Structure 1
Amino acid sequence: MELEYHTIDGSIYAELKGPAHCIQDTQDMLDLIATANYYRGASGIIINETHLPVDFFDLRTGLAGEFLQKCSNYRFNLAITGDFSNVKSRSLRDFIRESNQTGRVLFVSEIREAVKKWVR
């Protein structure tokens, strides 16, 4: 997994550049957080929805909750970019809406949207 770093208003954010489904489990997410924070002091990471396993979006698996819990535990921001406008699952729509309200984990259509919310 390759990370590209951006400094925005004095804060460092890492953007994951990698193949689809390169984050498979909670340990992968934890490794990503540790790498971004340790090597460059990033306070957040931006990933595309394609980097996540399909099970992430099935809330019954608990994977999304585990990933978000790691971000919360380490006080690390996470933005997931993608098109979430046509999500069919009501529970997933609610999950996305609630996550976006807290601001620690954001589901956004583009990187600029996440950065705006983080730096306000």
Structure 2
Amino acid sequence: MWNKISENLLSSYHNELNWVQGIRKELYEKEWMVETIMNHQIVEDGTKKYIEIISTQVPLSTEQDAVDLVALCIENEANLLMLHSPALSEDFFKLRTGVAGKMIQKFINYHVKTAAVIPMEVVNKGKFKEMVLESNKSNHFRVFETREDAESWLLK
């Protein structure tokens, strides 16, 4: 009887070990995918640091993309984020799609202060300009023409 109990316990521990190894493998693959899908860097300035997303293989266009960015910030203990326009999908700039609103709302909900570096010729198109004028009054999400201006606001 004791042998059966011992076998059962060992089998249970073996299954749990396999499960943990599987989770570790998935996490490793996800980290690798984030690094290859998103061209990003962690920038530290004294006591503050931020994540800078320069470009992506697939342009960011969903709430899940925003959540992934939030997770990247949390993993790196940063609550500041800089996005460059090549990383954003065309739908981000078309307000009728709702992409910008949904993504920005995720950043606000998770307290990730976000600066977007977007050329003025893109900003000045359609209703996007109105959204930028309004959002630039807040302390959560702002749009800048240069990286230097965005960094200055983030680190302020």
TM-score tier (shorter):
0.7 to 0.9
Distance 2:58 2:83 in 1: 11
> Post-superposition shift, 1:21?
4.3
Give the alignment partner of residue 11 of structure 1, picking from 35, 45, 48. Answer: 48
Distance 1:18 1:30 in 2: 17
**Aligned to 1:15, what secondary structure does the other structure show?**
strand
Partner of 1:27: 64
CA deviation string 1:5-27 (max 9, x = no partner)? 11124111011143364313110
**Aligned to 1:28, what secondary structure does the other structure show?**
helix
| TM-score in terms of structure 1 length | 0.86
Higher helix share: 2
Partner of 2:11: none
1:81 aligns with 2:117: yes
Distance 2:95 2:61 in 1: 15
Partner of 1:68: 104
Runs of 5+ consecutive residues of structure 2 not aligned to the other structure: 1-37
Partner of 1:50: 86
Distance 1:20 1:96 in 2: 25
Distance 1:24 1:14 in 2: 18
Give the alignment partner of residue 103 of structure 1, picking from 133, 139, 155. Answer: 139
Q: Is the deviation greater in 17-26 or in 103-112?
A: 17-26
Partner of 1:118: 154
> Post-superposition shift, 1:119?
3.1
Tell me if structure 1 keeps the 8 A contact 2:93–2:128. Answer: yes
> Post-superposition shift, 1:97?
1.1
Distance 1:22 1:92 in 2: 18
Greater C-alpha radius of gyration:
2
Runs of 5+ consecutive residues of structure 1 not aligned to the other structure: none
**Aligned to 1:18, what secondary structure does the other structure show?**
strand
Partner of 2:95: 59
* Structure ranking higher on relative contact order (CA contacts 8 Å, 6+ apart): 1
Tell me if structure 2 keeps the 8 A contact 1:84–1:107. Answer: no
